[in-house]
A and B are shown apart, each in its own frame.
Chain A
Amino acid sequence: MENLLQAKIGKPYRIAGFENAPVKIRRRLLELGLTKGQKIVLSRKSLLGKALLVDIRGYCLSLRSDVAKVVMVE
């Protein structure tokens, strides 16, 4: 199990949960559809890796690295 920052681009993962996530971020991520078991694909990373683009629940979401770090995937 790894966090979203470590994930490989293009490989489908399932969300396993959150780690060290502040309450507000956790809630917002859940509201956006990042629930346990949901399929998620990392589609792009910015040059220095500070921003990520993921495909989830049929739409495209961009996250900053500090947010991506708390999302655990497998």
Chain B
Amino acid sequence: MIKCNLVGNPNTGKTTLFNSLTGAHEHVGNWHGVTVEEKVGSFKFQGQEIVIADLPGIYSLTSLSYEEQVAIDYILKDRDRLIVNICDENNLQRNLYLTLCLLEAGCNCILAVNRMGKRGACKINFSSLEKELGCPIVLLQADKKKALDPLKKAIISFKAKDKKKLPYLAKFDLGKVASLQEMKKVPEKEREFFTLKLLEGDGEVAKKFGLDNKTIPDKVEEIAKARFDFIDKVLGKNISAKQNVYGKSKLDKIFMNKFLALPIFLLLLGLTFYLTFFSIGAWLSDGLSFLLEKFVGDPLVSFLTNQFGADSWIVGLTSVAIVGGLGSILAFLPQVALLFFFLSLLEDSGYLARIAFIFEDILGKIGLSGKSVYTLLMGFGCSTTAVLTARNMDDPNAKIKTGLLTPYMSCSAKFPIYSVIGGAFFGAKNIFVIMGLYLLGVVVAIVLSYIFEKTILKSKGQTFILEFPPYRMMNAKRVFSVLWQNCLLFLSRVGTLIVAMNIIVWVLSSFTITFSYTPKSGGVSMLETFGRLLAPIFTPLGFGSWGIVSALIAGLVAKEVIVSSIGMFNGVEGLAIGLSLFDPQNPVHFSSQSAVLAFLVFALLYFPCLATFSVLCKEIGKKWACIGALIEFVVAYILAFVVFNFGRAFEVFGLWSVLIFVGSILLILFSVIFVWKSVKKKRYCPYKNKCGKKCNRHEK
């Protein structure tokens, strides 16, 4: 059995090569850190078994992040293991830096030059390059399984030979450092390597030997330059024809044009949104739900009804909770698939890097990354599926922030609430109310992100440097593989939770505290009991009637349920729901427009639906998901309170009186602060030079 490590810069096609060799389906992306843990796979060639480990991308043998350290430790702990060093044909100038580091460390390397996309514009003389570097070179295409035989052959027939001395190392005075007391403990053959690392100022190595970095001269710039000079020399001899700057494209004149960039982006995103949540997505969702009902739901329910009677709780449980739950999962599935499809498209084509660049200005300030934009914007469709797309973000804090903020993007399930309830009270002006609500969500999200960034969730900032990928045609096989993986994950993880939650809420709304089945015995359901219990909490917000609160509790499962619950409590359906809200006799009613507004604000912001919550638990961890939910509730409560009370003030006292009142209070507040600050300010003191005493008057 031959063991080897797959090593290379990020974005050189490591994971693609790994998948092609081992038949695995790991996710690939243009984003650093997509390979975060080591992945090990194996394959057979000519009767031999070869085990290969896919390591995170690194730039040299000195790490700047946790992932890189993992890779480097892995390489160094078994120095004799064969290394397949993958390089991008178009980027050899930079990729070879790592190759040199590996060769310096005495590793056994096979250089695999990956042709990604079209043929490079330059010809490379590989045999001569082999001689200069002292390691075998293989040309391949990482995504074409059939083209990998030369590599497999090279792996099997590799013979470790004496390492070629790299000429540029000679000019560094390694002897002086190597003769230090501490270095004598290191075995002879590793001494040179560690000496070099110390000269480079590698903190990890210095720590290991208990050496203070300051006693050793810092030669990192010279060493780097020496390596690159060597690369330039070697490539200069063996490459013909000049190539274009890799990653630059004429298309960027359009996509990153000052005026066109944003409109194009909005257009593409709007298209994605429309296709996922309205046309194809909606059609598939409805289709699947219908099929489920007709071929599974109805037959099952009628069978159970025959067995147990129409008012048995088994029938209710099956038809509403279980089949209903399955139905909603199937309804989500097409959206999940489409979202990931479009995400892969954006990633693979290289466009996502452009988006990240364009939005860096704002996002940097609030601590998010370019990929957050996609997740957040898809949150306007459905937060559950949107949060799933944040899975592969590398910066953990940015990922948490993105996950926490996605629910503030008012999802499509909340729309019926605005249109039915808001529509009843505001009529034509409702469009402004709705726009205001969407805007409020976004503004709150930005403010929160800013606060997070300054306090507890500072972004680690590892993505401050990024290579810009060229535009590329997507690889159908890869896209499909990503889709398949994510859909399966969704069904297994999220699906089970949704059904479980559905069952719980159904039980709450169908059974009394004493667990007797309400449709049969006509008691008060647990939901109603809780609603009545919690209602007083919401009186300051203007909507303290138990029906509203119960509907909100039901809405924890899915926001779509709120409107239908209201209808159920008021005993009406469909279009009559809106009108029923005016009647103070009804369990659900609103006494003023302010109360309605406050309610809408609250519904926009309170807890995320349980599906989203369960996805958040899986993606960002239970702790942060709970913190996020709590913050949402508090923010919702405060804002609803403010809206209701200001609204009532407007209604009772009139717009102008309130504005004047608030304005005067703010004026008084500002004047107080201003006076206070100027008193504290150090004043000019004419005795500055003569007076020996120390006092704050001497400054300025």
- Of A17, A29, A62, chain B has the most CB atoms within 10 Å of the CB of A62
- Of A26, A44, A57, chain B has the most CB atoms within 10 Å of the CB of A57
Contact among A32, A36, A55 for B94, CB-based, below 8 A: A32
* A64 and B464 in contact, given A26-B220, A28-B64, A58-B246 (Cβ under 8 angstroms): yes
Interface string of A47-70 (1 = CB under 8 A from B): 111110101011111111011000
Q: Does B205 contact A (CB under 8 A)?
A: no
CA distance A71 to B467 in the complex (A): 17
Q: Does B465 contact A (CB under 8 A)?
A: yes
Q: Does A3 contact B (CB under 8 A)?
A: no
Question: Are the CB atoms of B258 and A47 closer together than 8 Å?
Answer: yes
Question: Are the CB atoms of B245 and A38 closer together than 8 Å?
Answer: no
Contact among A43, A64, A66 for B248, CB-based, below 8 A: A43
Residues of A within 8 A of B220 (CB): 26-27, 30
CA distance A69 to B467 in the complex (A): 18
Place the interface of chain B in its size category: 35 or more
Residues of A within 8 A of B78 (CB): none
Question: Are the CB atoms of A50 and B361 closer together than 8 Å?
Answer: yes
* A67 and B464 in contact, given A33-B228, A38-B228 (Cβ under 8 angstroms): yes
Question: Are the CB atoms of A24 and B467 closer together than 8 Å?
Answer: no
CA distance A57 to B248 in the complex (A): 13
Contact among B247, B358, B465 for A47, CB-based, below 8 A: B358
Nearest A residue to B93, CB-CB: A57
Nearest A residue to B92, CB-CB: A58
Interface hits, B214-228 → A, CB 8 Å: 220-221, 224-225, 228
Residues of B within 8 A of A26 (CB): 220-221
Question: Are the CB atoms of A50 and B94 closer together than 8 Å?
Answer: no
Nearest A residue to B223, CB-CB: A30
Residues of A within 8 A of B203 (CB): 23
Question: Are the CB atoms of B221 and A35 closer together than 8 Å?
Answer: yes
Question: Are the CB atoms of A60 and B245 closer together than 8 Å?
Answer: yes
CA distance A63 to B94 in the complex (A): 16
* A48 and B59 in contact, given A30-B220, A33-B94, A62-B468 (Cβ under 8 angstroms): no
Contact among A17, A25, A36, A62 for B353, CB-based, below 8 A: A62
Contact among A28, A31, A59 for B246, CB-based, below 8 A: A59
Question: Are the CB atoms of B467 and A64 closer together than 8 Å?
Answer: no
CA distance A70 to B466 in the complex (A): 16
Q: How far is the CB of B533 from chain A (nearest CB, A)?
A: 50
Contact among B91, B200, B364, B468 for A58, CB-based, below 8 A: B91
Q: How far is the CB of B263 from chain A (nearest CB, A)?
A: 14
Interface hits, B192-207 → A, CB 8 Å: 200-201, 203
Question: Are the CB atoms of A60 and B361 closer together than 8 Å?
Answer: no
Q: Does B243 contact A (CB under 8 A)?
A: yes
Question: Are the CB atoms of A36 and B248 closer together than 8 Å?
Answer: no
Question: Are the CB atoms of B59 and A63 closer together than 8 Å?
Answer: no
Q: Does B60 contact A (CB under 8 A)?
A: yes
CA distance A44 to B201 in the complex (A): 33
Q: Does B569 contact A (CB under 8 A)?
A: no
Residues of A within 8 A of B94 (CB): 32-33, 57-59
Question: Are the CB atoms of B358 and A36 closer together than 8 Å?
Answer: no
Q: Does A46 contact B (CB under 8 A)?
A: yes
Q: How far is the CB of A50 from chain B (nearest CB, A)?
A: 4
Q: How far is the CB of B612 from chain A (nearest CB, A)?
A: 31
Interface size on A, residues (CB 8 A): 36
Question: Are the CB atoms of A27 and B64 closer together than 8 Å?
Answer: yes
Residues of B within 8 A of A17 (CB): 221
Q: Does B633 contact A (CB under 8 A)?
A: no
Question: Are the CB atoms of B467 and A48 closer together than 8 Å?
Answer: no
Question: Are the CB atoms of A64 and B360 closer together than 8 Å?
Answer: yes
Q: Does B256 contact A (CB under 8 A)?
A: yes
Question: Are the CB atoms of B465 and A64 closer together than 8 Å?
Answer: yes
Contact among B228, B361, B464, B465 for A48, CB-based, below 8 A: B361
Interface string of B346-387 (1 = CB under 8 A from A): 000000010011101110100000000000000000000000
Question: Are the CB atoms of A30 and B221 closer together than 8 Å?
Answer: yes
CA distance A32 to B57 in the complex (A): 13
Q: How far is the CB of B596 from chain A (nearest CB, A)?
A: 39
Residues of A within 8 A of B466 (CB): 61-62
Residues of A within 8 A of B468 (CB): 53, 59-62
* A35 and B59 in contact, given A47-B358, A59-B245, A61-B468 (Cβ under 8 angstroms): no
Residues of A within 8 A of B93 (CB): 33, 57-59
* A31 and B357 in contact, given A59-B245, A59-B246 (Cβ under 8 angstroms): no
Contact among A28, A36, A51 for B59, CB-based, below 8 A: A28
Question: Are the CB atoms of B465 and A28 closer together than 8 Å?
Answer: yes
Q: Does B419 contact A (CB under 8 A)?
A: no
Residues of A within 8 A of B464 (CB): 25, 63-64, 66-67
Interface string of B415-456 (1 = CB under 8 A from A): 000000000000000000000000000000000000000000
Q: How far is the CB of A34 from chain B (nearest CB, A)?
A: 9
CA distance A24 to B465 in the complex (A): 12
Residues of B within 8 A of A30 (CB): 220-221, 224
CA distance A24 to B65 in the complex (A): 10
Q: How far is the CB of A40 from chain B (nearest CB, A)?
A: 11
Contact among A24, A31, A43, A61 for B224, CB-based, below 8 A: A31
CA distance A25 to B296 in the complex (A): 60
CA distance A62 to B361 in the complex (A): 13
Contacts A23-B201, A36-B225 supplied; 8 other A-B pairs, CB < 8 Å? A26-B220, A27-B62, A32-B59, A35-B221, A58-B91, A58-B94, A61-B466, A62-B465
User: Which 7 interchain pairs have the tightest Cβ spacing?
Assistant: A60-B247, A51-B360, A60-B468, A48-B361, A30-B224, A59-B246, A50-B361
Using a CB–CB cutoff of 8 Å, the interface residues on chain B facing chain A are 59-60, 62, 64, 90-91, 93-94, 97, 200-201, 203, 220-221, 224-225, 228, 243, 245-248, 252, 256, 258, 353, 356-358, 360-362, 364, 464-468
Pick 14 A–B contacts, CB within 8 A, sort by A.
A31-B59, A36-B221, A43-B248, A44-B357, A47-B258, A50-B364, A57-B93, A59-B94, A59-B246, A59-B468, A60-B245, A60-B248, A60-B468, A62-B356
